[in-house]
Amino acid sequence: MAGILHGVTFDDLPEYRFIRAVDFAKEVKQSGVYGNAFNFTGFYEDGEFFHDCGLIIDDIDKMKVDADIVTELFSLIDHAAQNDRPLIFTTQVVGSELVKILTGNGKNQQRNDRVESIINRIRDKAEIIMFDKQAQLL
């Protein structure tokens, strides 16, 4: 699958698997299996979805998010950190907007806690690269 990230095509990163966030969410919903983390040896046993090195999830702010998707993101980030695997998220929003997207209406405390854990994990482990000088950090 081809894509461009500020002049670098995803074809230039063959060791990474590229998936659009909306497709990621669709796969989570269709699989019906939550909390297993999309491990880096297979995307629910489908080797097409992961390469040996890492994963790029594009436009994470564009997917429809519910509690199951938040759970999968948490598991995925945790798995990547524990197994020292690179994981790249792209987004068109700043941190506070991403939190609003992930928490939804904010009424589900477990979901809110997971989102807080996701953001904390990103802050602790991630290297944040901003292409917009006006952007705010998470």
DSSP per-residue string spanning 37-77? ---TT-BTTBGGG--SSEEEEE-GGGS---HHHHHHHHHHH
Q: Are 63 and 107 in contact (CB under 8 A)?
A: no
Higher pLDDT, 75 or 11: 75
pLDDT at residue 88 tops 80: yes
Q: Give the pLDDT score at 106.
A: 83
> Measuring CA to CA, how many Å separate 48 from each of 35, 54, 78, 80?
20, 13, 22, 18
Residue 99's SS3 state is helix
- The mean pLDDT of 66-94, rounded to a whole number, is 80
Query: pLDDT-based confidence at 81, cuts 50/70/90?
Result: confident
Whole-model pTM: value is 0.69
Q: Domain residue spans in the chain?
A: 14-125
Mean pLDDT of 108-113: 87
CA distance 118 to 84: 16
Which class would CATH give 14-125? alpha beta
pLDDT digits (tens, 9 = 90+) for 3-45: 445 555 667 677 777 888 888 888 777 766 554 545 433 443 4
